[in-house]
């Protein structure tokens, strides 16, 4: 695994993501998911480039259903971006590295996140 990439679970999510002192990208994935492997390679590469300014984490959606339910993860891969303990943006499904990097740059530039959503 890439040095700047954390494995998180239901028990560590709050401490490692919501209480982090810098923005966090969480990759919700599962071992059986083909597109997750493609996104995972992009996340690994971005962690090498941005790992000093943004935390990168992977959360196995199958093993951590409490967290996936709380954040409304209905399909994977899903990337969620957090800043100051709040959801900043979300990308669901296969995407390209440029789109992921756009969100990372927006977070670092102090930009506005996507419209907030309510989890019930």
Question: Looking at 36, 57, 79, 103, which residue is catalytic?
Answer: 36
DSSP 3-state of 83:
strand
Confirm whether 33 is a catalytic residue: yes
Residue corresponding to tokens 């709380």: 70
Phi then psi for 101, rounded to 5 degrees?
-65, -35
State both tokens at 35: 């597109």
Question: Looking at 33, 40, 97, 113, which residue is catalytic?
Answer: 33
Euclidean distance between CA atoms 117 and 32, whole angstroms: 28
Q: How many CB atoms lie within 10 A of CB 42?
A: 20
Confirm whether 59 is a catalytic residue: no
Residues 88-97: tens digit of each pLDDT: 999 999 999 9
Euclidean distance between CA atoms 120 and 113, whole angstroms: 20
Q: Going from the N-terminus, what domains does the chain have, and what CATH number goes with each?
A: 5-108 (3.40.30.10)
Q: How many residues does this entry show for the chain? A: 120
Residues 21-59: tens digit of each pLDDT: 999 999 999 999 999 999 999 999 999 999 899 999 999
């Amino acid at each position: 695994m890439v040095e700047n990439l954390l494995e998180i679970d239901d028990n560590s999510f709050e401490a490692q993501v919501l209480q982090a002192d810098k923005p966090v990208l969480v990759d919700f994935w599962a071992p059986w998911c083909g597109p997750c492997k493609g996104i995972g390679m992009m996340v690994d590469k971005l962690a090498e480039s941005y790992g000093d300014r943004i935390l990168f984490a992977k959360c196995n959606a199958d093993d951590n259903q409490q967290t996936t339910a709380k954040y409304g993860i209905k399909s994977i891969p899903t990337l969620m971006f957090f800043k100051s303990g709040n959801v900043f943006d979300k990308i669901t499904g296969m995407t390209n590295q440029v789109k992921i990097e756009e969100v990372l740059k927006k977070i670092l530039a102090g930009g506005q996140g996507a419209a907030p959503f309510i989890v019930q």
